[in-house]
Amino acid sequence: MNTNNQPIINQSWLITQVKQHKRKLIAANLIAIVATILSVPIPLLMPLMVDEVLLNHPSTGIEVMDHILPTSLHTPAGYIGLAFGLIILMRTGSQLLNILQSRQFTLVSKTITYQIRSKMIDKLGLISIQQYETRGSGSINAHLVTDIETIDKFIGSTLSKFAISFLTVLGTAVVLLWLDWRLGLFILLVNPLVIYFSRKLGSKVKHLKQKENQSFERFQNRLVEVLDGIYQLRAANKESIYLQELKQQANHIRNDADQFAWQSEAAGRLSFLLFLLGFELFRVVAMLMVVFSDLTIGQIFAVFGYLWFMLGPVQELLAVQFSWYSAKAALQRINSLLQMEEEYRPISTTNPFVSSASVDVELHNVDFAYNLDQKVLRQLTLTIPAGKKVALVGASGSGKSTLIQLLIGVYRAQSGTISFNHTDCEKIGFEIIRDQIAVVLQNPVLFNDTLRQNLTLGSKHDDNALWYALNLAQLDDVINQLSDGLDTQIGRQGVRLSGGQRQRLSIARMLLTDPKFVILDEATSALDTATESRLHRAMSTFLAGRTTLIVAHRLSAIKQADLIYVLEDGQVTQTGTHGELLNQQGLYQALYGTSNIERGQSNPATEIQF
Ligand SMILES: Nc1ncnc2c1ncn2[C@@H]1O[C@H](COP(=O)(O)OP(=O)(O)OP(=O)(O)O)[C@@H](O)[C@H]1O
């Protein structure tokens, strides 16, 4: 866990990654150098053509060409043809090498972005549930997709071009120095000056990228929520209000993105304008030098050729910084995800389940609050004996589901102890505890996948085991009627199943894991009473001897328990069996008493809700 809040993806991390690809990067840079060496001399053929061929002042160039060409081609047309052939060869060679070097760079950049993405995926498994609840899946989604893409673009395209552009500008300056040291020096001084002003301009727009990202994050979070709730919004006829709100947020993105886009474009163009002014000045100086010094007409053609040659690379170099601002903002956001608070995972020092077939649970003076200002569980003490069925009842908001969250370690008690088989949960570690527990929730999470995958969640089970679990969960008849059976796709969040079928699928999933401790949190609330009663009967053999915690409002789910705890305002106020509690004055009697007497006699699976 990163406790010192230092960015995790920082320079030294990147350098370590880059070092792992040293050979590829060295190869890429060598290729870039060869490509530059091939392309930089092309404008030098100009003075050769103009001075030696067109103006008829033969010198070293013609001498060399005479060695290559047969005597019959020692003519201006022959020389021009040879120069043309050479230029084609050099340009093609240089472009092919550029392709090769960018291939090397993409190999490295894609691997580095894959590593960042993997690091983030690893982190997803560690982030505390509270952080997920506050940040929202939309923003996490944005980090994993958009931010990584920005970084990928920066490393892949910008950096690979950076090497070539930098080398080209440097090579050009060297040739200019050789042609005329004053011109070379001029170009060497102009470039840093332009880059300095361009950085100054760039620093004025970099915060706009962050603003754009924030708008995008807000939009994405809301979009995910609206899409998840679209059915209910449509049913409540409120869809248009939410879609309108999304449009407003899209409009914010438009404004913020527009600000960054035009201002960074303007800053880029102003920087380039500076360069062009230097360029024009350079041209004037070069022409004056033809008049006042020994620069030849051919050489001035070469100088102008080099100026054009530099334009593209200089533009690329200036663009790198704007691309860097986007990448830096993305990196900051990625780091903020990597720095999110992690779930508390004590290191396991003992495993009390190895020697014991069943699980008992004890809570002693447990205090818990989601927000420090409001306690949800207060000095809660209760025991769930091994192999027994225990029910937890209480009014809505009394803390029943919160207690389950603490049992599976999703949240941590602020004080008090939770023990399994007389061993403190912190000594056992929650990975081991979760191996013993299966939780069935009221709204089970289902994936847009086959029934089989939703049942097994990736574990290996043969079809007989699956059908056995489906049979106990009272779902085999339903699946039998589907043409694709276990391979039926159930749609997003299991939309092709009814609420009750989804709950039974989740129960079948629990049965397959063969847990020692079963937690049923309103697990059968969507079933009709007859199906629920059949299900309870079918499961009774499976549950016999397993510790079971039932959280329910329905009497039919509660009354089968060996022990019932009544929870009021985060504390146990009554304990006993159904019969005992009915005879005690208190919340249980108030909630179930009369209704039970009236309805319970006629139907054992009576449904009573409060
Ligand atoms: N993730 C959360 N963040 C902040 N507060 C929460 C969170 N979950 C629950 N609460 C609060 O904790 C209290 C207890 O909620 P809990 O879900 O445990 O009640 P419950 O007894 O299971 O209710 P129900 O029978 O309606 O499911 C409620 O006041 C609720 O507002």
Instruction: List the residue whose alpha carbon is closest to atom 24 of ligand 1.
Output: 396
pLDDT, tens only, 499-550: 889 999 999 999 999 899 999 988 888 888 888 888 888 888 888 889 999 9
Kind and range of the H or E element at 333?
Answer: helix 297-338
Does residue 601 carry a pLDDT above 50? no
Does residue 223 carry a pLDDT above 60? yes
Main-chain phi, psi angles of 382, to 5 degrees: -160, 160
pLDDT, tens only, 456-503: 988 888 889 999 999 998 888 888 888 888 888 888 778 888 888 999
Task: Classify residue 347: in a domain, yes or no.
Answer: no
- Cβ atoms of 253 and 215 within 8 Å: the answer is yes
Task: Classify residue 452: in a domain, yes or no.
Answer: yes
Task: Classify residue 345: in a domain, yes or no.
Answer: no
Q: Where does the pLDDT of residue 372 fall: very low under 50, low under 70, confident under 90, or very high at 90 and above?
A: confident
User: Which of 338, 370, 393 is the last residue in one of the domains?
Assistant: 338
**How many domains does one find in the chain?**
2
Task: Classify residue 351: in a domain, yes or no.
Answer: no
Ligand 1 nearest atom to the CA of residue 553, by list position: 25
User: Which of 338, 373, 404 is the last residue in one of the domains?
Assistant: 338
Co-location of 323 and 198 in the same domain:
yes
Co-location of 255 and 299 in the same domain:
yes
Ligand 1: which of 371, 376, 392, 567 to mutate, most ligand atoms within 8 Å of CB? 376
Cα angle for residues 526, 586, 391 (degrees, 5° grid) = 40
Does residue 571 carry a pLDDT above 70? yes
Q: Is 111 in the pocket of ligand 1 (CB under 6 A)?
A: no
Residue 569 or 283, more confident: 569
Residue 606: the pLDDT is 38
Task: Classify residue 208: in a domain, yes or no.
Answer: yes
Q: Is 244 in the pocket of ligand 1 (CB under 6 A)?
A: no
Helix (H, G, I), strand (E, B) or coil at 515: coil
Does residue 359 carry a pLDDT above 50? yes
Co-location of 317 and 368 in the same domain:
no
Enumerate residues 6+ apart whose C-beta is below 8 A from 320: 158, 161, 162
- Cβ atoms of 283 and 304 within 8 Å: the answer is yes
354: left (phi over 0), alpha (psi -120 to 50) or beta: alpha
d(CA 342, CA 162): 38
Co-location of 94 and 144 in the same domain:
yes
Residue 252 or 560, more confident: 252
Q: Is 383 in the pocket of ligand 1 (CB under 6 A)?
A: no
Co-location of 454 and 320 in the same domain:
no
Query: What is the domain-level CATH number for residue 414?
Result: 3.40.50.300
Task: Classify residue 108: in a domain, yes or no.
Answer: yes
Residue 595: the pLDDT is 52
Q: Which two tokens stand for residue 578?
A: 């159904």
Q: What is the mean pLDDT of the chain?
A: 84
Task: Using the mean position of ligand 1's atoms as its centre, give its distance from the Cα of residue 127 in Å.
Answer: 21
In DSSP notation, 294-329 reads S--HHHHHHHHHHHHHHHHHHHHHHHHHHHHHHHHH
Co-location of 307 and 402 in the same domain:
no
Task: Classify residue 399: in a domain, yes or no.
Answer: yes
Q: Is 113 in the pocket of ligand 1 (CB under 6 A)?
A: no
Residue 200: the pLDDT is 79
Task: Using the mean position of ligand 1's atoms as its centre, give its distance from the Cα of residue 381 in Å.
Answer: 18
Co-location of 455 and 509 in the same domain:
yes
pLDDT, tens only, 66-103: 888 898 888 888 988 998 898 899 989 989 998 888 88
Q: Is 102 in the pocket of ligand 1 (CB under 6 A)?
A: no
pLDDT, tens only, 145-195: 888 888 888 887 776 778 778 888 888 888 888 877 877 787 777 777 777
Question: At how many degrees (to 10) do helices 76-124 and 60-68 cross?
Answer: 90
Instruction: List the residue whose alpha carbon is closest to atom 19 of ligand 1.
Output: 397
pLDDT, tens only, 197-213: 777 777 777 778 778 87
Co-location of 274 and 379 in the same domain:
no
Residue 596: the pLDDT is 47
Task: Classify residue 486: in a domain, yes or no.
Answer: yes
Task: Using the mean position of ligand 1's atoms as its centre, give its distance from the Cα of residue 442 in Å.
Answer: 14
Q: Which two tokens stand for residue 345?
A: 């995972």
Residues above pLDDT 70, as percent of the chain: 96
Q: Is 394 in the pocket of ligand 1 (CB under 6 A)?
A: yes
User: What's the ipTM?
Assistant: 0.97
Does residue 11 carry a pLDDT above 80? no
Co-location of 109 and 224 in the same domain:
yes
End-to-end C-alpha distance for the chain, whole angstroms:
43
Range of the domain at 205: 11-338
Co-location of 442 and 293 in the same domain:
no
Instruction: List the residue whose alpha carbon is closest to atom 25 of ligand 1.
Output: 396
- Mean pLDDT for the stretch of residues 267-282: 79
Task: Using the mean position of ligand 1's atoms as its centre, give its distance from the Cα of residue 368 in Å.
Answer: 11
Co-location of 370 and 288 in the same domain:
no
The pTM (predicted TM-score) of the whole model is 0.71
Q: Is 397 in the pocket of ligand 1 (CB under 6 A)?
A: yes
Ligand 1 nearest atom to the CA of residue 130, by list position: 1
Co-location of 472 and 412 in the same domain:
yes
Exposure b/e, 279-306, CB count within 10 A at least 16 = b? beebeeebeebeeeeebbebbbbbbbbb
Query: What is the domain-level CATH number for residue 144?
Result: 1.20.1560.10
User: Which of 303, 338, 373 is the last residue in one of the domains?
Assistant: 338
Residue 284: the pLDDT is 82
